[in-house]
Chains A and B, each alone.
Chain A
Amino acid sequence: GAGVSQSPSNKVTEKGKDVELRCDPISGHTALYWYRQSLGQGLEFLIYFQGNSAPDKSGLPSDRFSAERTGGSVSTLTIQRTQQEDSAVYLCASSLAGRSEAFFGQGTRLTVV
């Protein structure tokens, strides 16, 4: 596709449920990032993929958060047993190898009620 695609665009879930967020990066971009944007906060780094491996998971806030990437393309961010503090916009970005310029999707707005 032409840009980074994320789905769903909006997700409302009940506290305690698991959710999966999907990111489809730009074709050929080997680097993929997940960020979180909470109300009144800056963007918070969650995890970085190079190909299918994740050399930096340092931003994942707890073991309820996990992510995987398959085929060097699509990535899924999973949040287990969601809490209200998980409510945020989850952003995915991709970039070419060795480049800092990242291209962002429009995000998934997650609301935990």
Chain B
Amino acid sequence: GNSVTQMEGPVTLSEEAFLTINCTYTATGYPSLFWYVQYPGEGLQLLLKATKADDKGSNKGFEATYRKETTSFHLEKGSVQVSDSAVYFCALSEGFNAGNNRKLIWGLGTSLAVNP
């Protein structure tokens, strides 16, 4: 079945460091790919998404490119801030038979701590 694998945390970085969180997936067809973020004490929020191969999603300085050849969707940010400390989840959409909505298949999450 479809699955998502992301790098284990926790990841600890100093402010202004470069961030990469790896995510690879296994899927049939052409899923959409997502990164969600969960800040301390808050609910999950969509960070960025990509719906087809070679698409690049970006938001708040974060980027991820949908790479079909390597089945990857790695999250990157050039210069992290303390406020980026959160748990990051990679996910893919999986089709339903009815309607066009799709449930999400999730990675286990990667905790990021950024120190000043």
Report A91-110 residues with CB < 8 Å from chain B CB: 91, 93, 95, 97-107
| Contact, CB under 8 Å: A56 / B44 | no
The 8 Å CB contact of A97, one of B49, B101, B104, B105, is B101
How many angstroms between the C-alpha atoms of A56 and B93 in the bound complex?
A: 14
How many angstroms between the C-alpha atoms of A58 and B97 in the bound complex?
A: 12
Determine, out of A43-51, A65-73, A75-83, the stretch whose residues face the partner at the interface.
A43-51
Determine, out of B63-71, B78-86, B106-114, the stretch whose residues face the partner at the interface.
B106-114
Q: Nearest B residue to A99 by beta-carbon distance?
A: B101
| Contact, CB under 8 Å: B98 / A42 | no
| Contact, CB under 8 Å: B99 / A55 | yes
Asked if A41 lies at the interface with its beta carbon under 8 angstroms from chain B, I say yes
Asked if B25 lies at the interface with its beta carbon under 8 angstroms from chain A, I say no
A42-B109, A100-B93, A107-B43 known; A56 and B103 CB under 8 Å?
A: yes
| Contact, CB under 8 Å: B101 / A98 | yes
How many angstroms between the C-alpha atoms of A48 and B91 in the bound complex?
A: 17
| Contact, CB under 8 Å: A106 / B43 | yes
Q: Which residues of chain A have a CB within 8 Å of any CB of chain B?
A: 3-4, 31, 33, 35, 40-45, 48, 50, 55-56, 59, 91, 93, 95, 97-107
